[in-house]
Structure 1
Amino acid sequence: MEHEMKKETALCPCLSQRDLHSIGGLVPLLGFLKNSHANIRAKAADVVSTIVQNNPRSQELVMEANGLESLLSNFTSDADVHARTQALSAISSLIRHNKPGVTAFKLANGYAGLRDAMASDSVRFQRKALNLLQYLFQEDDSDRSIAAGLGFPRVMMHLASSDDAETREAALRGLLELAREKNDGSGSSSIEKGDEKLRQLLEERIEGISLMSQEDLGTVKEERQLVDSLWRVCYNEPSSLREKGLLVLPGEDELPPDVASKLFEPPLRASAANRNATEKKEEPIKLLGPAP
């Protein structure tokens, strides 16, 4: 164990000294994903996540070095939940805006891995899986049918009652995506809108929101909107949150004063405005009658 901990301590300097934007630098990094120490596997996945964010060239290099396969292995079968979570975070960064990566993820049964992550006891793991799922839904309508076929709606309904507010919101967003009609002209959704369990869930969430203090209501603004949107999509009518005055709280519908735009107003526009104002001030006063 002491030997492994020394490896972990040396991991960061070792990685920082290498050219991580080349195959030569990536190969040893990806090797750390198979290290026997869970903390090292998690750290390596975290570094991969950082170097591939919004970087198409790095995404391509990681794919060429079979990095996705190693990350998928850790994501689906690592015994340590933290290492699994970090692997999912890296996968999410790697396949965003990367169609070959998305395709490889699906072919590797990545959806089943997401379902398992959502069914885990780790709130952070659940949230990362839900957020990646939301991205996949937005990228491809057909993925909703895949998720529905794998039983995602039931898992999401369970998570929509989580004690964690962010998890509830993410689950409700996923359910809303499944309930919306596809854009392929079929006019169908991937969730049964007459589902009694879904109606029960929404009624329970409305009841829970109704019992919240004014302070707590302010922290669940998005959840209130999601519950109402999901109710309207499924039942073609506003939820009772609107009727109870809980959908939009006093002050929430008011736009903040437009101070920032004046502070950051382009100099030319600002000088023109000042010049116009000065010119107006210098105009002679027009009298209604003849001058004395």
Structure 2
Amino acid sequence: MAMLPVEGGSNSSDQSVPGGNEAQAREKLLPRNYEDILKFALENTNPEEASHEPMSEERKKWLNQALAGMFTDEVKILKGKLEELSDILKSNREEDEERKENLLEYIVDLCDRIDNAKDLIKLDGWKVISRCLDDKSAEVRWRALEVAGTILQNNVYVQDCLLKEGAMKKFMKMADEDDSDLVKVKAIFALSCHIREHNASEIAFVKADGFSCLMRAMQSNNQKIQIKSTFLLKALLISQPEFKDGAQQIGMVQQLTGLLNTEHNAAHEHIAAALLCLVTEHPAAIADCRLPRLNLKKLLENRMTLIKDREEFQEEHQYCQDLLTMVFMSGNHDNKSSADR
């Protein structure tokens, strides 16, 4: 089991006595697992002075004892951090905002390991983290969403649990309504981690009018929000091609085309990829692309001219080429596109 330093444990007194900030700073500098120790050793060893002689049994014993003294069970530390955070939330003091942020950062580092993410749920930690989603501080809210995304990512156990808890609807509401763009970005990140590669969550998202949620996110002036929402749309359509019907019926072709018809920016590569994915093997979406009022053919041709020979936009150029071929050249409507690769 990966281990953590004792000083990073559940003792919440660091912040309540003079020198608490210094203690917290020291805690962040200490190695949190054996990988950190190896990194520290490599960075602080002079190769010319290093000994290549076999380690004696006495030295091995000393080293093992030293490591055992430095480290303790991560689950115990996680439990302590959650308890500390819960206590702070109950006190609801404005001066505790930085402590909440620091604790959430520590928890997200712990939960980067899948077993710890499961343990957070088993420890009823989600009840604590979910309370942070309603915090008045955007800094706390986005960090809580980062914890949510981290524990959900590629973790079926957590995805199952949070689906039952109804966390998805909270993430959708925050992506729609929060007044902080960074919180919205992290809400879409949490949604993506909740949904991707989890069939039940994908279906629940679509039933909850998730495509409309993504459409609203795409209309943001924030490029990160646009990129994350279109990336999630593409992932859903690849995972569940039958979802294309619903996306097409609510006007997703018109939405994506309209976004492409704005001043060129970094989000357009992802928008073009999502549109290409939607029209692939979907005649109704192709028919929408051919609507004269969209003027998509000219838009794509102009875009290809604009980004021609610019290496950073070669993928977008390929998506535009594939769209032109698939939509406006007969006999190619059923081809697999580059957006599916």
Deviation at 1:8, TM superposition (A): 2.5
TM-score normalised to structure 2 length = 0.61
Deviation at 1:81, TM superposition (A): 2.1
State whether residues 4 and 37 of structure 1, in contact with CA within 8 Å, keep that contact through their aligned partners in structure 2: yes
Q: Per-residue displacement from partner, 1:17-61 (whole Å, max 9, x unpaired)? A: 785422422221122112121121111111111122111112122
Letter in 2 for 1:222: E
Q: What is the number of residues matched between the two proteins?
A: 230
Q: Tell me whether 1:12 sits opposite 2:105 in the alignment.
A: yes
Give, in whole Å, the separation in 1 of the partners of 2:306 and 2:167: 48
* Alignment partner, residue 203 of structure 1: 298
Give, in whole Å, the separation in 1 of the partners of 2:321 and 2:257: 15
State whether residues 307 and 317 of structure 2, in contact with CA within 8 Å, keep that contact through their aligned partners in structure 1: no
Q: Which of 160, 179, 203 is matched with 1:60 structurally? A: 160
Greater share of helix: 2
Q: Which of 70, 90, 101 is matched with 2:201 structurally? A: 101
Deviation at 1:196, TM superposition (A): 2.2
Q: Tell me whether 1:147 sits opposite 2:247 in the alignment.
A: yes
Deviation at 1:137, TM superposition (A): 1.2
Give, in whole Å, the separation in 1 of the partners of 2:314 and 2:279: 21
Larger radius of gyration: 1
Structure 1 unaligned regions, length at least 5? 183-187, 239-292
CA RMSD of aligned residues (A): 2.5
* Alignment partner, residue 64 of structure 2: none
* Alignment partner, residue 321 of structure 2: 228
Give, in whole Å, the separation in 1 of the partners of 2:290 and 2:193: 36
Q: Which of 164, 167, 173 is matched with 1:73 structurally? A: 173
Q: Per-residue displacement from partner, 1:219-274 (whole Å, max 9, x unpaired)? A: 21111211111111112169xxxxxxxxxxxxxxxxxxxxxxxxxxxxxxxxxxxx
Q: Tell me whether 1:38 sits opposite 2:134 in the alignment.
A: no
Alignment of 1:249-268 (within 5 A): none
Give, in whole Å, the separation in 2 of the partners of 1:132 and 1:26: 24
* Alignment partner, residue 256 of structure 1: none
Deviation at 1:68, TM superposition (A): 2.1
Give, in whole Å, the separation in 2 of the partners of 1:150 and 1:212: 30
Q: Tell me whether 1:171 sits opposite 2:271 in the alignment.
A: yes
Deviation at 1:3, TM superposition (A): 4.3
Q: Which of 181, 187, 206 is matched with 2:281 structurally? A: 181
Structure 1 stretch displaced more, 76-85 or 227-236: 76-85
Q: Which of 204, 207, 215 is matched with 1:115 structurally? A: 215
TM-score normalised to structure 1 length = 0.70
Summarize the Cα distance change of 1:16–1:224 in structure 2 as closer, same or farther, 3 Å threshold.
closer
